[in-house]
Structure 1
Amino acid sequence: MTLALTSMDADPFGPEILEDPLPFQAALRDAGPVVHLSTYDVYGLGRYAEVHAALTDWQNFQSAAGVGLSNFRVEKPWRPPSLLLEADPPHHDAPRHVLEPILTPRALRALRPRWLASAEQLVDEVLGAGDIDLVTAVAQAFPLRVFPDAVGLPDAGRENLLPYGDHAFNAFGPSNELVAKGLPRIGELSAWVNAQCAREVLAPDGFGAQIWAAADRGDITPEQAPLIVRSLLTAGVDTTVHGLGAALYAFATHPDQWDRFRAAPTLARVAFDEAVRLESPVQTFFRTATRDMRIGDTVVPEGHKILMFLGAANRDPRRWADPDRFDLGRDPSAHVGFGMGIHQCVGQHVARLEAEAVLTALAARVSRIELTGPPVRHHNNTLRAFAALPARLITG
């Protein structure tokens, strides 16, 4: 029995809400701890407390039935499910345990000098280019330089990573026009990504080779190894690109915080996490109730999907003071932009290191980030992103 349940008929994947989700998210939070979204017959959570609780309760809100709208209990996924995102213990344990030590801050320390030098080189290039698009020239350019190298990919074909990831994240939503636009190329892109996950393709000193070494030790099976590499390639580029875009936009629109950061560049990771909180590059994820679950006065029936609005939770005034402000004096560490619990993003430290390298290199040379035109949003069923950020980098 469902009690006191508010229903909303808005489409959270419609173009108007994807362009500006904030009014919808505020209405969702105000409507209650859980709201029935009638367009898709799912239960929406927009408040921080309920989103956090659902993210950490993998026993009652499973990922194995898919973290998108599609229910793997009754529908066949378009690709083999992710061993990280779309699995629960015990099947989730071994892949996660293999990746965690590879991607810890301590393990990544060896990459830091190389990535800082690469970021400085990129800043040299963009400073000589005049007016630029911060998305293509910085937010996309840097991750596509350093992350594929870290995984061990060859140079050819790296331009496939962004459109593949874009489709993968679109596919977590409904089969709308955003999914349709990616269908003509997805076979070709999937074949390329799958080919990069083979042991013989990967460089011997990258993340991919370390995953295959875990298979040799018996920590995972040889069949699991390429799927784990694929998970890195699916989720490791777009999310970082959009997180960097969020940070650059936040600094461009909050010049006082850029001054504050330039005076204390050790705040790079705080700045990145605050930008992720504010913009939430990953806006939504689904879970499936494993039994009848009460949220507030509402019972979510077993087998039904809940839709967690991470972006709404990250701006919930019940949790955050002045939530719409980008503030380096805030401790953003509790944000849910990387998820929470056992499925929390395993690559978040990689993203933070990439952001630290870029932001630190910019702070050393750039006194102001000035937008020269209106930002253009890129629509995706799951991701909040910019298609373009026309800007000028002011030195001196």
Structure 2
Amino acid sequence: MTTLETPRPVNDGDPFSHAVLENPLPLHAELRDAGPVVHLPRYDVYAVARHEQVHAALTDWQRFQSAAGVGLANFRTEKPWRSPSLLLEADPPRHDAPRRVLSKVLGPRALRRLRERWTADAEELVDQVLDGGPRFDAATALAHVFPLRVFPDAVGLPPAGRENLLPYGDHAFNAFGPHNDLVARGAPRVPELLDWVGGQCRREVLAPHGFGADIWAASDRGDITPEQAPLIVRSLLTAGVDTTVHALSAVLYAFATHPDQWRRLRDNPSLARVAFDEAVRWESPVQTFFRTTTTAVRVGDVRIPEGRKVLMFLAAANRDPRRWENPDAFDLSRDPSGHVGFGMGLHQCVGQHVARLEAEALLTALARRVETIDLDGTPKRHHNNTLRAWESLPVKVRDFGSGRSS
């Protein structure tokens, strides 16, 4: 006798189409309104878009596993395009030792050592940009530059070749989606980029002091194996640049379109970290991730069978009116803690405090010199299957230091 499943809401939208990548908000609202879980027949996956269900899936690694891949590809049946991440694409017990090591490497002591240097680097960069005039592209001059200026140094990468980090990360996050034109765009460079990134993870290439060296030292102590060390360094290079670049773009866009909130930050620079987290909630640089069910799971009245892909809409959860009051507003008076922009639970982003420190340094340096910041033209999106990104963010500013403005 066949047991019929409860009828499930269906949405025919394509979350990876260029139209949705340009403006995902209407689809996100449709998915939230349709129910706790929705079937997407275009890819034959289930989707959760409300905060309650997204949070639950993120924290239930036993039933919603990452080891089968956090993209559309199912590692149970498909070969990954590169060896899986020991953090993002692994579950306990395989996930545990790498996570412990990286959490310690990126811990408070390391960040205290970096704070003074990154603050000075941010002030130097802001001075350089503003000395060039009141009009500039905040994405390419600030958000794209600062993480590439400070983070590879902290990892211990040599200077040559760092321009490969952004295209490598762009392809890695595109590859979490379907094999569409965005994946095809990056495919020709994949062998070259994989070879370069793999080379940077070797002990002899990394500086003797830095995150990379600390990871290799953990292998010397036996906390991880020598085979795991380069894969953990690779995780830093994959997840530690593009996501921060686009999060910084998000907060700069938020301030350029919310002058009242910029005044609040300028009057109280200690709000820099709150501003960054609110921008991560509001824009969600990481829009989606997948999980795979390890058993049949009931979400609401719908039964998701074992072995099925579940697409978690982090961005939709971060604007769910069931969780947030006036969710479409960028508001520094809000407590944004509880957003899922960095994930949640066991696989929550281990480098989120590094990103916050970068944002704090850059925003504080800007607040020191910039009285007003406004859009100076139409911003242009960069489409990626997973990331919400800006390619161009033209702004004009009034500079305290010179009094110059448009």
Above 0.5 in TM-score?
yes
In the alignment, residue 58 of structure 1 is paired with which amino acid?
A: W
Deviation (angstroms), 1:128:
1.4
Partner Cα distance (1:6, 1:329) in 2: 36
* SS state at 2:277 partner: helix
1:65 aligns to what?
68
Q: Does 1:206 align with 2:239?
A: no
Partner Cα distance (2:245, 2:28) in 1: 23
Q: Is the 8 A contact 1:67 1:85 kept in 2?
A: yes
Deviation (angstroms), 1:371:
0.9
Instruction: Determine which of 296, 299, 311 is the counterpart of 2:300.
Output: 296
1:4 aligns to what?
7
1:135 aligns to what?
139
Partner Cα distance (1:107, 1:204) in 2: 15
Deviations 1:284-306 (A, max 9, x none): 00000000000000011000000
Q: Does 1:185 align with 2:185?
A: no
2:269 aligns to what?
265
Instruction: Determine which of 243, 246, 249 is the counterpart of 2:250.
Output: 246
- The 5-angstrom pairing of residues 71-150 of structure 1 reads 71-130=74-133, 131-150=135-154
Q: Does 1:161 align with 2:165?
A: yes
* SS state at 2:144 partner: helix
Please, which runs of 5 or more residues in structure 2 have no aligned partner?
401-406
In the alignment, residue 101 of structure 2 is paired with which amino acid?
A: V
Deviation (angstroms), 1:104:
2.0
Q: Does 1:351 align with 2:355?
A: yes
Q: Is the 8 A contact 1:2 1:297 kept in 2?
A: no
- The 5-angstrom pairing of residues 296-335 of structure 1 reads 296-335=300-339
Q: Does 1:285 align with 2:289?
A: yes
In the alignment, residue 265 of structure 1 is paired with which amino acid?
A: P
Please, which runs of 5 or more residues in structure 1 have no aligned partner?
none
Deviation (angstroms), 1:4:
3.0
In the alignment, residue 91 of structure 1 is paired with which amino acid?
A: R
Deviation (angstroms), 1:129:
1.7
Partner Cα distance (1:4, 1:340) in 2: 29
Deviation (angstroms), 1:392:
1.5
Deviations 1:205-225 (A, max 9, x none): 100000000000000000000
In the alignment, residue 228 of structure 1 is paired with which amino acid?
A: I
Deviation (angstroms), 1:20:
0.1
1:15 aligns to what?
18
Partner Cα distance (1:168, 1:235) in 2: 9
In the alignment, residue 196 of structure 1 is paired with which amino acid?
A: Q
Q: Is the 8 A contact 1:67 1:172 kept in 2?
A: yes
1:45 aligns to what?
48
In the alignment, residue 371 of structure 2 is paired with which amino acid?
A: S
Deviations 1:251-292 (A, max 9, x none): 010100000011111111100000000000000000000000
Q: Is the 8 A contact 1:315 1:324 kept in 2?
A: yes
2:399 aligns to what?
395
Percent sequence identity over aligned pairs? 73
Partner Cα distance (1:320, 1:107) in 2: 34
Deviations 1:145-197 (A, max 9, x none): 00000000000000000000000000000000000000011111111000000
In the alignment, residue 294 of structure 1 is paired with which amino acid?
A: R
Partner Cα distance (2:76, 2:115) in 1: 43
In the alignment, residue 193 of structure 1 is paired with which amino acid?
A: V
- The 5-angstrom pairing of residues 368-383 of structure 1 reads 368-383=372-387
TM-score for the superposition, normalised by structure 1:
0.99
Deviation (angstroms), 1:105:
3.0
Partner Cα distance (1:191, 1:292) in 2: 40
Deviation (angstroms), 1:370:
1.4
Partner Cα distance (1:169, 1:2) in 2: 33
Partner Cα distance (2:239, 2:6) in 1: 38
Deviation (angstroms), 1:394:
1.3
